[in-house]
Protein backbone atom coordinates (compact mmCIF):
# COMPACT_ATOMS: atom_id res chain seq x y z
CA UNK A 1 0.00 0.00 0.00
CA UNK A 2 1.17 3.49 -0.80
CA UNK A 3 -0.08 6.95 0.16
CA UNK A 4 0.76 9.84 -2.15
CA UNK A 5 -0.44 13.26 -3.22
CA UNK A 6 -3.26 13.10 -5.73
CA UNK A 7 -2.35 14.13 -9.26
CA UNK A 8 -3.97 14.74 -12.61
CA UNK A 9 -5.63 11.56 -13.82
CA UNK A 10 -6.72 10.44 -10.33
CA UNK A 11 -10.25 11.91 -10.50
CA UNK A 12 -11.84 8.70 -11.85
CA UNK A 13 -10.36 6.54 -9.06
CA UNK A 14 -11.25 9.07 -6.35
CA UNK A 15 -14.82 9.43 -7.65
CA UNK A 16 -15.19 5.64 -7.68
CA UNK A 17 -14.00 5.29 -4.06
CA UNK A 18 -16.23 8.22 -3.04
CA UNK A 19 -19.43 6.72 -4.49
CA UNK A 20 -18.71 3.09 -3.56
CA UNK A 21 -17.91 3.90 0.06
CA UNK A 22 -21.07 6.04 0.32
CA UNK A 23 -23.13 3.09 -0.91
CA UNK A 24 -21.60 0.60 1.53
CA UNK A 25 -21.42 2.97 4.53
CA UNK A 26 -24.72 4.83 4.27
CA UNK A 27 -27.15 2.14 3.08
CA UNK A 28 -29.95 2.16 5.66
CA UNK A 29 -28.89 5.61 6.94
CA UNK A 30 -29.27 7.84 3.87
CA UNK A 31 -32.46 7.37 1.77
CA UNK A 32 -31.99 4.66 -0.89
CA UNK A 33 -32.95 6.95 -3.78
CA UNK A 34 -30.08 9.30 -2.92
CA UNK A 35 -27.64 6.37 -2.95
CA UNK A 36 -29.10 4.73 -6.04
CA UNK A 37 -28.42 7.84 -8.13
CA UNK A 38 -24.77 8.07 -7.06
CA UNK A 39 -22.39 7.17 -9.86
CA UNK A 40 -18.69 7.66 -10.45
CA UNK A 41 -19.64 9.95 -13.35
CA UNK A 42 -21.82 12.10 -11.07
CA UNK A 43 -18.80 12.83 -8.84
CA UNK A 44 -16.16 13.05 -11.55
CA UNK A 45 -16.24 16.80 -12.30
CA UNK A 46 -16.11 17.63 -8.56
CA UNK A 47 -12.83 15.74 -8.21
CA UNK A 48 -11.41 17.00 -11.51
CA UNK A 49 -11.98 20.56 -10.26
CA UNK A 50 -10.43 19.72 -6.90
CA UNK A 51 -7.33 18.34 -8.61
CA UNK A 52 -6.95 21.55 -10.61
CA UNK A 53 -7.38 23.76 -7.54
CA UNK A 54 -4.29 25.69 -6.58
CA UNK A 55 -5.33 26.37 -2.96
CA UNK A 56 -2.03 26.06 -1.11
CA UNK A 57 -3.65 25.26 2.23
CA UNK A 58 -5.60 22.29 0.81
CA UNK A 59 -4.34 18.76 0.37
CA UNK A 60 -5.79 15.77 -1.46
CA UNK A 61 -4.06 12.43 -0.99
CA UNK A 62 -4.80 8.93 -2.22
CA UNK A 63 -4.07 5.41 -0.99
CA UNK A 64 -3.14 2.86 -3.63
CA UNK A 65 -3.06 -0.92 -3.47
CA UNK A 66 -0.08 -2.91 -4.77
CA UNK A 67 -1.41 -2.68 -8.34
CA UNK A 68 -1.58 1.12 -8.17
CA UNK A 69 -5.39 1.16 -7.95
CA UNK A 70 -6.83 3.95 -5.79
CA UNK A 71 -8.60 2.38 -2.80
CA UNK A 72 -8.95 5.42 -0.54
CA UNK A 73 -8.45 9.16 -0.28
CA UNK A 74 -8.55 12.05 2.16
CA UNK A 75 -8.61 15.81 1.80
CA UNK A 76 -8.40 18.76 4.12
CA UNK A 77 -7.65 22.44 4.49
CA UNK A 78 -9.02 25.52 6.25
CA UNK A 79 -12.10 25.10 8.45
CA UNK A 80 -15.20 26.16 6.46
CA UNK A 81 -17.98 26.85 9.02
CA UNK A 82 -16.48 29.61 11.20
CA UNK A 83 -16.14 27.24 14.16
CA UNK A 84 -13.18 27.86 16.51
CA UNK A 85 -10.88 25.41 14.67
CA UNK A 86 -8.13 26.24 12.17
CA UNK A 87 -8.28 23.18 9.95
CA UNK A 88 -10.76 20.64 8.69
CA UNK A 89 -10.53 17.09 7.45
CA UNK A 90 -13.03 17.57 4.62
CA UNK A 91 -13.36 13.92 3.67
CA UNK A 92 -11.84 10.51 4.16
CA UNK A 93 -13.07 7.45 2.29
CA UNK A 94 -11.78 3.91 1.89
CA UNK A 95 -13.27 1.03 -0.03
CA UNK A 96 -14.95 -1.28 2.48
CA UNK A 97 -12.41 -4.10 2.04
CA UNK A 98 -9.59 -1.73 3.08
CA UNK A 99 -11.30 -0.34 6.18
CA UNK A 100 -9.85 -1.35 9.57
CA UNK A 101 -6.43 -1.92 7.92
CA UNK A 102 -4.62 1.06 9.45
CA UNK A 103 -4.85 2.87 6.12
CA UNK A 104 -7.46 5.35 7.39
CA UNK A 105 -5.22 6.42 10.25
CA UNK A 106 -2.31 6.94 7.84
CA UNK A 107 -4.49 9.10 5.58
CA UNK A 108 -5.61 11.24 8.53
CA UNK A 109 -2.02 11.58 9.77
CA UNK A 110 -0.90 12.87 6.35
CA UNK A 111 -3.67 15.49 6.35
CA UNK A 112 -2.78 16.51 9.93
CA UNK A 113 0.88 16.96 8.98
CA UNK A 114 -0.15 19.17 6.08
CA UNK A 115 -2.43 21.29 8.30
CA UNK A 116 0.40 21.74 10.78
CA UNK A 117 2.74 22.78 7.95
CA UNK A 118 0.16 25.47 7.11
CA UNK A 119 0.26 26.66 10.77
CA UNK A 120 -3.13 25.14 11.62
CA UNK A 121 -3.17 23.89 15.20
CA UNK A 122 -6.66 22.38 15.52
CA UNK A 123 -9.04 20.41 13.30
CA UNK A 124 -12.61 19.21 12.90
CA UNK A 125 -14.37 16.67 10.70
CA UNK A 126 -18.11 16.47 10.04
CA UNK A 127 -19.73 13.04 9.94
CA UNK A 128 -23.26 11.75 9.87
CA UNK A 129 -24.09 10.73 13.43
CA UNK A 130 -24.98 7.17 12.35
CA UNK A 131 -21.76 6.72 10.38
CA UNK A 132 -19.82 3.74 11.82
CA UNK A 133 -16.62 5.80 11.29
CA UNK A 134 -17.59 8.00 14.27
CA UNK A 135 -15.96 5.35 16.50
CA UNK A 136 -12.79 5.73 14.41
CA UNK A 137 -12.72 9.52 14.98
CA UNK A 138 -13.23 9.00 18.72
CA UNK A 139 -10.41 6.43 18.78
CA UNK A 140 -8.17 9.06 17.18
CA UNK A 141 -9.03 11.48 19.99
CA UNK A 142 -11.82 13.44 18.30
CA UNK A 143 -14.44 14.88 20.66
CA UNK A 144 -18.00 15.70 19.53
CA UNK A 145 -18.16 19.52 19.60
CA UNK A 146 -21.12 20.49 17.43
CA UNK A 147 -24.25 19.00 15.83
CA UNK A 148 -26.35 20.25 12.94
CA UNK A 149 -29.23 18.82 10.94
CA UNK A 150 -29.05 18.30 7.20
CA UNK A 151 -31.74 17.15 4.77
CA UNK A 152 -31.05 14.27 2.39
CA UNK A 153 -33.92 13.27 0.19
CA UNK A 154 -36.94 13.31 2.50
CA UNK A 155 -34.93 12.57 5.62
CA UNK A 156 -33.39 14.84 8.27
CA UNK A 157 -30.03 13.53 9.48
CA UNK A 158 -27.82 14.67 12.33
CA UNK A 159 -24.27 15.59 11.41
CA UNK A 160 -21.67 15.76 14.17
CA UNK A 161 -18.41 17.70 14.18
CA UNK A 162 -15.53 15.92 15.91
CA UNK A 163 -12.81 18.28 17.07
CA UNK A 164 -9.15 18.11 17.98
CA UNK A 165 -8.24 21.34 19.80
CA UNK A 166 -4.50 20.60 19.68
CA UNK A 167 -3.08 18.64 16.76
CA UNK A 168 0.21 17.99 18.55
CA UNK A 169 -1.69 15.58 20.82
CA UNK A 170 -2.68 13.65 17.68
CA UNK A 171 0.88 12.33 17.26
CA UNK A 172 0.98 10.82 20.76
CA UNK A 173 -1.88 8.39 20.35
Mean pLDDT of the chain: 89
Per-residue confidence (pLDDT) for residue 101, from 0 to 100: 86
Q: What is the mean pLDDT of residues 87-115?
A: 92
**Rounded alpha-carbon distances, angstroms, from residue 27 to 13, 24, 69, 104, 132:** 21, 6, 24, 20, 12
Query: Is the per-residue pLDDT at 107 higher than 80?
Result: yes
Cβ–Cβ under 8 Å, residues 129 and 156: no
3-state secondary structure of 105: helix
Query: Is the per-residue pLDDT at 172 higher than 60?
Result: no
Query: Is the per-residue pLDDT at 136 higher than 60?
Result: yes
Lowest mean pLDDT, pick from 28-37, 39-48, 97-106: 28-37
- For residue range 110-131, list pLDDT tens digits in order: 999 999 999 999 999 999 888 8
DSSP H helical ranges for the chain: 11-26, 32-36, 40-52, 103-117, 134-139
Amino acid sequence: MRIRLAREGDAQGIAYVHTESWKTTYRGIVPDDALDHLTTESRLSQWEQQLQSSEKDQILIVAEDLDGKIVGFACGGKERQALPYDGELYAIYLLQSYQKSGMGRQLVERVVLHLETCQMRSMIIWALQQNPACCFYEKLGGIPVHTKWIRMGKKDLAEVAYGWSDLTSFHHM
